[in-house]
Amino acid sequence: MKKECLPLKNEEIIQQLNLEQKCALLSGETVFTTRGYKKAGIPSITLSDGPNGVRKQAGAADHLGLNPSVPATCFPTAATVACSWDPALGEQIGQAMGEEAAAQEVSVLLGPGLNTKRSPLCGRNFEYFSEDPYLSGKMAAGYVRGIQSEGISACPKHFAVNSQELRRMASDSVVDERSLRELYLTGFEIVVKEAHPKTIMSSYNLINGTYANENAHLLQDILRKDWGFDGAVVTDWGGSNDHALGVKNGSTLEMPAPGGDAVRELLKAVETGKITEADVDARLDELLTLVFDTHAAVENHSREFDADAHHALARRAAAESTVLLKNEEGLLPLAAGTRVAVIGDFAETPRYQGAGSSAVNSIKVDTFLECLKESGLNSVGFATGFDRQGKPDAAKKAEAAALATKADVVLLCLGLDEIKESEGLDRTDMKLADNQIELLQAVQQANPNTVVVLSAGASLETPWLTHCKALVYGALGGQAGAGAMVDVLTGKVNPSGKLAETWANAYEHTPAKDNFAGKGRTVQYREGLYVGYRYYQTAGVPVAFPFGYGLSYTSFAYSDLKADAHSVTLTVKNTGNRAGSEIVQLYIAKPDAKVFRPAQELKAFAKVQLAAGESKTVTLTLDDKAFRYWNTKTDSWEVEGGSYEIRVGASSADIRLTAVVEVAGTEAPNPYAGKSLPHYESGKVQSVPDAEWETLMGCLIPEDKVRIDRNMTLGELNHSRSPICWLVWLVLHTLLTASYKRGKPDLNVMFQYNMPLRALAKMTNGAISMGMVDGIVMEAKGFWIIGLCRVIVEAVKNVILNVQLEGRLRNS
C-alpha cells in the first residue's frame, strides 16, 4: 500500500517490497550486520564497535568484546581525550578510526559514547567524556565529524540518561524534565546539530517509565522535531523492548539479530492497527538512506591505512590528554640522565583501555618499560611492587622499597585494575587498592622523590596524595599511552590536559551517593541539575581536584577581558620559559538568579598554544546555550533577563577574570514561583525529601518493586515463584561471585545477570521467541506446568514459523 503523505527518498525501492520484506529489513541479520535484499538491490551493511578504535569481529561475533576482533589502532578512551579539551584532536582521531573502519568494510562505527557522568562509580565512565554536557557535546561532535569524513556513519550513544551498568537493560532513570534537557540531552543536541551523525544509538534504559527506544518524547519530539535529526536510530544490542512501539516512535533498526519473531511482531502490529505501514515505510526510508550512503563509501574506500601514522596520532593524543595533578618542588620534568627506579605492575602490563564492547584488539601495545629505554633517563631497575588483584605481598613491597633507594626519582605506576572498570558492572568505591597505597607509603619512605603515574578511566579518592611529590594522570591512554607518558615525564611534551570531571575527596561527598545506582528498577535522579562541579561549587563542598584543573611546566597570565552577550575576548600570555598550551575556560554565573541554577556553568573554552613569552588574543563565542534554561511551565528554552557574570579562568576553581554583561530575557514566568524547593535553591541536594523532589518532578515518585514480567532480570529470579528459576539464579549468582573473587570480570555472566527475560528473545538470533519468554514468565509466576508447556509449544511454533519466513524471504 502506497502512502502519498510521505516524501520518501527511497520510494521506488520501498514500493518493490511487500510488507513482510519491509519488516524484515528493520532488524539485524547477524550480531553486527543488517539484512540485505539482493533483488531490490539492497546490500547488507556492517556495524562495529567502537568508541576508541574499531572492533570488527571477523569470526564469532558478540557484543561484549569477548571474542577477538581484527587488529586495529586502540586510541585513548573518551575519558582520556576529553582531558585535551580539544575537539579538533577528537576529529583527527575520529578520522583515523573512520578510515580504519571503512578499510575493514564497516559502515557504521558504534561511537562515540557521550553519556553525562552522573556518578564516578558508573563502570563505563572510561567510555564517556565528561560530567559536563557542553564539553561532552563539543568533543563528541569532533569525533563524529572525523568519522563521517570517511563517508561512513558515526553512532553517538547511548541516547539517553544511561548513567550506570547495574540493571542496565531494565532500569528506569527517573529524572525531572529540566535536568533531562540541560544535563543529559544537551551534549546529544550539540552533536546532532553541529556534526549531523547519520545514526544514533538509543540506550537500554527507560526514561521516566518508557524505554528510550520507544520513547516518543525522546525520539520524535526532541531528537527528530526539535533537533532536526533525519538519520537512523539504532537500538543498543538487545535494547528493543516492544519493537512495534520502537518503529512507531522513531527507532529505525533493531539490533542484534532478533530473528523471525521480530518480523512477525511488526506484521501483527500493522494488522492490528498498533502501528501503520507508513510507520514502517518511514523507518525503512531512514535505513535505506544509511545503507546506500555508507555502503557506497565503504565500497570505494581503500582497504589500507597507515598503522604507524595512527600509532603516532594515538601517542600524541594521549600526551595532549595527560593531566599533571601535582608537581611539588618542580620535580618534573626529569632531566636526561636522571636515575629512575620504575615500580608497579602497570609499567610492564599497561592498563590502557576498558573492558567490554569497546575493547580493541590493538595492533601493538607500548609498555612504559620499553618506552623508557629511548627516553634518555637512566633506569636503575624495575620491580612489580604489588599484586594486581589487590593481595598484600610483603616481599614485592620490600623489593620495591629497596630499589627505590638506589634512584634519584621513583616512577611508581599505580592504577585501577581490570575488574574495576568494565562495561556491565559499576565500581563499588572510588578507592585505589590498599596494597598499592601501602606500596606508595613504603616507597616514599625509601625515596621522597616519588612520582605517581596513574592509569584509571575514572576519578579516584586521593587521601594518599601527600605521599608523592608529583602525580601524573594518564587515564587510559590507548596502545601508545606509555610513550606519551614518557614524553610528559621528560618534558618532551609540556602537559596541558585538564580534568573533564571533578575528583571528589570521598565518594560520600558525591551528589548522587544515596541514589546511585538504585535499589530496584527505578533510579531516582534526585540531585537534579547538580551533577559534578555544578554540585560541589553550588553547595560549597571542597574537592580534591576541581573540574578543569591541570598543571603545566610553564605558567600563564590572563588579561584584557572584554565581553558582551555574544562574544568574549582576552589575552593569554605564557609567562614561563618553555612553550605550552593553556585551556581557557569560560563559565557563566547569575548570582541574583530568580530561577535557581548552579553557581556557574561551562559555556565556552579554547585551547591556545603559546611559545615562551608569547601572548595571544583568545576569542570565545557565546552561543544559544550560554544563557538558556529549560522552563517547565512554558515547555521551552527561556532566558532570564538581567546581568550575568562572565568568568574566565584556568579551571572551574581558578577564575582569573570576570566581567558583567546585560542579557535580554524572554520574560517567561518563573516555573518555580510559589514552590518550596530549598535544596535545589541552595544546591545541597544530597538528601532531598520526597515531597520536594515530587514538587520538582511535577508528579509522584513512581512505585518501585520487583515485578514478574518480561522485564524481570535474571538477577531478580530469586524473587520468582519457581524452583527452576531459583536454580538459574543460584547458578548465575555463584558464577558472578566467583568471578568477583578471581578479580577478573566475567562479562558474559554479568551481562546475563542484569539482562531482562525479554532479552532472551532479542539476543538469540531467533532461537527464542517472545512467546517462549511469556512461557518462562508464567513459570516464574508459579504456573510450573502450564509455563513449561507453553515454552515447549512456542518453541516448536517458533522453529516452524522461522523456517517458513526465511524461506519466503529467500525466494520472494
**DSSP letters of 236-260?**
-TT--SSHHHHHHTT--BB-S---H
Neighbouring C-beta atoms of residue 103, cutoff 10 Å: 19
Beta bridge partners of 473: 323, 454
Rounded to 5°, angle at Cα 602 from 179 and 457 = 80
Instruction: Compare residues 215 and 327 and give the one whose CB is closer to ligand BGC.
Output: 215
Distance CA 460, CA 449 (A): 22
Instruction: Compare residues 256 and 775 and give the one whose CB is closer to ligand BGC.
Output: 256
Residues 308-347: x where in contact with ligand BGC by CB under 6 A, - otherwise, as a string: ----------------------------------------
Least Å distance, CB 174 to ligand BGC, is 21
Residues 227, 231, 236, 241, Cα dihedral to 10°: 80
Least Å distance, CB 665 to ligand BGC, is 40
Least Å distance, CB 237 to ligand BGC, is 4
For 89, the grid coordinates are: 584532536
The question of whether 236 is a catalytic residue gets the answer yes
Applying CB under 6 A, which of residues 186, 357, 479, 652 lies at the interface with ligand BGC? 357
Residue with nearest beta carbon to ligand BGC: 63
Applying CB under 6 A, which of residues 63, 315, 534, 758 lies at the interface with ligand BGC? 63
Distance CA 286, CA 8 (A): 9
Instruction: Compare residues 116 and 798 and give the one whose CB is closer to ligand BGC.
Output: 116
Q: At what angle do helices 260-272 and 770-781 cross, to 10 degrees?
A: 90
Distance (Å) of CA 551 to CA 87, 569, 609: 20, 23, 15
Applying CB under 6 A, which of residues 75, 237, 535, 630 lies at the interface with ligand BGC? 237
Least Å distance, CB 333 to ligand BGC, is 38
Contact call for residue 110 and ligand BGC (CB under 6 A) = yes
Instruction: Compare residues 237 and 549 and give the one whose CB is closer to ligand BGC.
Output: 237
CB-based contact 477:494 (threshold 8 Å): no
Instruction: Compare residues 214 and 285 and give the one whose CB is closer to ligand BGC.
Output: 214
CB-based contact 342:372 (threshold 8 Å): yes
Distance CA 29, CA 805 (A): 13
Distance CA 116, CA 95 (A): 24
Burial (0-12, 13-18, 19+ Cβ within 10 Å), 465: middle
Least Å distance, CB 751 to ligand BGC, is 7
Burial (0-12, 13-18, 19+ Cβ within 10 Å), 370: middle
Least Å distance, CB 57 to ligand BGC, is 9
For 26-167, strand residue ranges (E) read 28-30, 33-34, 47-49, 108-110, 153-154
For 275, the grid coordinates are: 502501528
Rounded to 5°, angle at Cα 297 from 293 and 302 = 170
Distance CA 429, CA 578 (A): 39
Least Å distance, CB 236 to ligand BGC, is 5
With CB under 6 A as the rule, give the number of residues binding ligand BGC: 7
Contact call for residue 236 and ligand BGC (CB under 6 A) = yes
Instruction: Compare residues 589 and 755 and give the one whose CB is closer to ligand BGC.
Output: 755
152 Cβ neighbours under 8 A, 6+ residues apart: 98, 101, 102, 106, 107, 108, 109, 294, 297, 298
Contact call for residue 467 and ligand BGC (CB under 6 A) = no
Contact call for residue 157 and ligand BGC (CB under 6 A) = yes
Beta bridge partners of 607: 583
Least Å distance, CB 303 to ligand BGC, is 23
Least Å distance, CB 122 to ligand BGC, is 12
Rounded to 5°, angle at Cα 236 from 732 and 780 = 35
Distance of CA 187 to the CA centre of its chain: 11
Instruction: Compare residues 113 and 137 and give the one whose CB is closer to ligand BGC.
Output: 113
Least Å distance, CB 357 to ligand BGC, is 4
Instruction: Compare residues 158 and 311 and give the one whose CB is closer to ligand BGC.
Output: 158
Distance CA 511, CA 212 (A): 24
Contact call for residue 171 and ligand BGC (CB under 6 A) = no
Distance CA 215, CA 197 (A): 20
Contact call for residue 164 and ligand BGC (CB under 6 A) = no
Contact call for residue 241 and ligand BGC (CB under 6 A) = no
Residue among 682, 776, 767 at smallest CA distance from 724 = 776
Instruction: Compare residues 157 and 790 and give the one whose CB is closer to ligand BGC.
Output: 157
List b or e across 1-16, with b for residues whose CB sees 16 or more CB atoms inside 10 angstroms: eeeeeeebebeebbee
Residues 726-765: x where in contact with ligand BGC by CB under 6 A, - otherwise, as a string: ----------------------------------------
Instruction: Compare residues 357 and 496 and give the one whose CB is closer to ligand BGC.
Output: 357
Instruction: Compare residues 358 and 600 and give the one whose CB is closer to ligand BGC.
Output: 358
Distance CA 689, CA 343 (A): 48
339 Cβ neighbours under 8 A, 6+ residues apart: 377, 378, 379, 380, 406, 407, 408, 409
Q: Are strands 378-383 and 522-524 parallel, antiparallel or unpaired?
A: unpaired
Q: At what angle do helices 394-404 and 434-446 cross, to 10 degrees?
A: 30
Least Å distance, CB 49 to ligand BGC, is 5
Applying CB under 6 A, which of residues 27, 33, 49, 787 lies at the interface with ligand BGC? 49
SS3 389: coil
Instruction: Compare residues 115 and 769 and give the one whose CB is closer to ligand BGC.
Output: 115
- From the list 236, 242, 417, 426, the catalytic residue is 236
Beta bridge partners of 642: 663
SS3 491: coil
Least Å distance, CB 673 to ligand BGC, is 41
Instruction: Compare residues 205 and 490 and give the one whose CB is closer to ligand BGC.
Output: 205
Least Å distance, CB 36 to ligand BGC, is 20
Interface residue list for ligand BGC (CB under 6 A): 49, 63, 110, 157, 236-237, 357
Give catalytic residues, as residue numbers: 236
